[in-house]
Amino acid sequence: MARVAKRPPNVPQSEFRSTQRLLSELVAHLRESRTQLREEWARRITEAKLLTAMSNEEIFAEATSVYDNYVEALETGTFEALQAYARNLSERIIPRGVETHEVIGIVLLLRDVLARSLFAKYQADFSLLNRILDAYEPAANRIAITVAVGFVQERERVIREQQEAIRVLSTPVLQVRERLLILPIIGVIDPQRARQLTEQLLRGIRTNRAKVVVIDITGVPVMDENVANHLVQTVEAARLLGATVIITGLSPEIAQTLVTIGVDLGKMNTVGDLQGGIEEAERALGYKVVDISESVAPA
């Protein structure tokens, strides 16, 4: 049973009805010719050397699903099912190494295959052909975009997840001595990473019962106001957990940024380099730094 599309508010009733009639005719034709059009499409995909990561059986199976979803979208004028299918398909094929141009390519090939079959069928009546194409083209374009965007969004989601994993791995909180943590930060920090650093550090303070934390930013080339604020917040939050923060490796540029945002560097505990920072921390913890070469007394 055919499902009915909803008339857009700006389209007059008569025009809409005639478009609907044309689309119904179109959909009926596409359903009738399903087998041969699908084969034609699969053939073109292989010819264009797309989806090489998949076997012929797989291509055919997916081709069938895409075809059916495509025709259904044309019929109902709704794209939810297609979107869901596109997402699902993307989830499956991205790990197989299928790329964006392949996905767009196959959808456009299907569009061509269907269009050609329309030309073949309605070639006798040019004006009818035109009207059918008028109905077909916008919908077909919409479908192509829906599938492509669905694929791209899924890819972006995967990339985000991977970035998150990298972020977690690249911000180690090191326990160097009892009650002393070191957090060496390397590379550019974006607000997301800064936030995560703070969370990891605070949890580390609690777990390790740290009293002093040395945050080394020697490896941070630039810092904008947002991130500098984040650094200040980290120091404040650490204090709430009873830990003192020593910042080492402060470049003149970053010092300037901190001053610009109104940080009283006098209040912030900063030491030139990491080595100095660790020594300062040890002093604060009550460790004495002894030069052992001195204690080896001559005979």
Partner 1 sequence: MDDERRSLDAPGSLALPYARSQERVAREVCIPIRSDVDIVKARQTGRDLASELSFSFTDLTLIATAISELARNIVLYAREGDVCLRLVEQGEKRGIVVIARDQGPGIVDVRRALQDGYSTSRSLGLGLPGARRLMDEFEVRSEVGRGTTVTVKKWKR
Partner 2 sequence: MEVPILKQGAYLIASVQSALSDADLVQLRDAVVERVGKLRSRGVIIDVTALDVMDSFATRTLRDIAHMIRLRGADTVIVGIQPEVAFALVQLGLKLEGVATALDLEEGIAFLDRKAKTQAKETRSRGR
Q: Which residues bind partner 2 (CB under 8 A)?
A: 198-199, 202-203, 205-206, 209, 211, 233-234, 236-243
Cβ 288 to partner 1 shortest distance, Å: 37
φ/ψ of residue 183, rounded to 5: -125, 95
Cβ 287 to partner 1 shortest distance, Å: 33
Q: Which does 205 bind (CB under 5 to 8 A by kind): partner 2, partner 1, none?
A: partner 2
Contact 142, 8 (CB under 8 A): no
Q: Which does 243 bind (CB under 5 to 8 A by kind): partner 2, partner 1, none?
A: partner 2
Residues that bind partner 1 (CB under 8 A): 5-8, 10-11, 15, 19, 23, 76-80, 134-135, 137-139, 141-142, 145-146, 149, 153, 157, 199, 229, 232, 261-262
Cβ 165 to partner 2 shortest distance, Å: 21
φ/ψ of residue 52, rounded to 5: -65, -20
Q: Which does 206 bind (CB under 5 to 8 A by kind): partner 2, partner 1, none?
A: partner 2
Instruction: Pick between residue 171 and residue 229 the one whose CB is nearest to partner 1.
Output: 229
Alpha carbons 38 and 33: distance in angstroms, whole number? 8
Element (H or E) spanning 102, and its range?
Answer: helix 100-122
Cβ 137 to partner 1 shortest distance, Å: 8
Cβ 245 to partner 2 shortest distance, Å: 12
Residues counted in the chain: 299
Alpha carbons 84 and 270: distance in angstroms, whole number? 53
Instruction: Give me the amino acid identity at 21.
Output: R
| Among candidate residues 211, 250, 207, 252, the one with its CA nearest the CA of residue 232 | 250
Alpha carbons 297 and 13: distance in angstroms, whole number? 105
Alpha carbons 285 and 178: distance in angstroms, whole number? 9
Q: What six digits make up the tokens of 204?
A: 């580390």
Q: What six digits make up the tokens of 28?
A: 């009926």
Q: Which does 241 bind (CB under 5 to 8 A by kind): partner 1, partner 2, none?
A: partner 2
Instruction: Pick between residue 64 and residue 153 the one whose CB is nearest to partner 1.
Output: 153
Cβ 286 to partner 2 shortest distance, Å: 11
Q: Which does 7 bind (CB under 5 to 8 A by kind): partner 2, partner 1, none?
A: partner 1
Instruction: Pick between residue 23 and residue 205 the one whose CB is nearest to partner 2.
Output: 205
Instruction: Pick between residue 170 and residue 226 the one whose CB is nearest to partner 1.
Output: 226
Element (H or E) spanning 245, and its range?
Answer: strand 244-248
126-169 and 191-208 helices cross at what angle (nearest 10)? 30
Alpha carbons 99 and 53: distance in angstroms, whole number? 10
Cβ 85 to partner 1 shortest distance, Å: 15
Alpha carbons 262 and 270: distance in angstroms, whole number? 16
Instruction: Pick between residue 86 and residue 231 the one whose CB is nearest to partner 2.
Output: 231
Q: Which does 239 bind (CB under 5 to 8 A by kind): partner 2, partner 1, none?
A: partner 2
Q: Which does 209 bind (CB under 5 to 8 A by kind): partner 1, partner 2, none?
A: partner 2
